[in-house]
Amino acid sequence: MSAPEVPARRQTRQRTAVLALLDELDGFRTAQELHALLRERGDAVGLATVYRALQALVDDGLVDVLRSEVGEAAYRRCSPVHHHHLVCRSCGRTVEVADPPVERWAARVAAEHGFADVQHQLEVFGTCRPCAAAQREDRLSGRGR
């Protein structure tokens, strides 16, 4: 009800830089990594601002966020339609994938147990071919232990 509540997002150098950087990267990156990359490239942006920009992008549905196993948040420019991810554990390379059956399954199993307001999260983790090859090499050289 009442006003549509659009706080009017303002266009600044910092927000533009964050989104531009995300557009060039293909995988999930943490806020700290993005902050370091921006600094290297010269587009210096405060860390707190990186966090705020990412949060805004997530709210706008332009960016997906994923929690790593150690609890850090990682961000990626994603398409706005519902999808899931196939993520490389070591380099972050990501492929967007869809699985229509699981959507129906989630809704059905939730209904069967009387759960409402259903959401689901499905992610697949693995090692992409280049990273697997690199790891094999490492093992062949000195890393016996």
Partner DNA sequence: CGGACGTGTGAGAATGGTTCTCATGACCAC
Partner DNA sequence: GTGGTCATGAGAACCATTCTCACACGTCCG
Judged by CB under 7 A, which stretch of 66-74, 78-86, 104-112, 124-132 contacts DNA? Answer: 66-74
121 is a contact residue toward a second copy (CB under 8 A): yes
Nearer to a second copy (CB atom), residue 20 or residue 102: 102
Q: Choose which of 32, 115, 138, 139 interacts with a second copy (CB under 8 A).
A: 115
Q: What is the four-CA torsion angle of 48, 54, 60, 63, rounded to 10 degrees?
A: -170
| Binding of residue 113 to a second copy (CB under 8 A) | yes
User: Annotation-wise, does 78 bind a ligand?
Assistant: no
Nearer to a second copy, 34 or 66 (CB): 66
What separation, in Å, do the N-terminal and C-terminal C-alpha atoms of the chain show? 64
- Measure the CA–CA gap between 65 and 77, rounded to whole angstroms: 9
2 binds a second copy (CB under 8 A): no
List, as own/partner pairs, every contact residues 58-64 make where C-beta atoms lie below 8 angstroms and the sequence separation is at least 24, other chains included: 60/9, 62/19, 63/22, 64/28
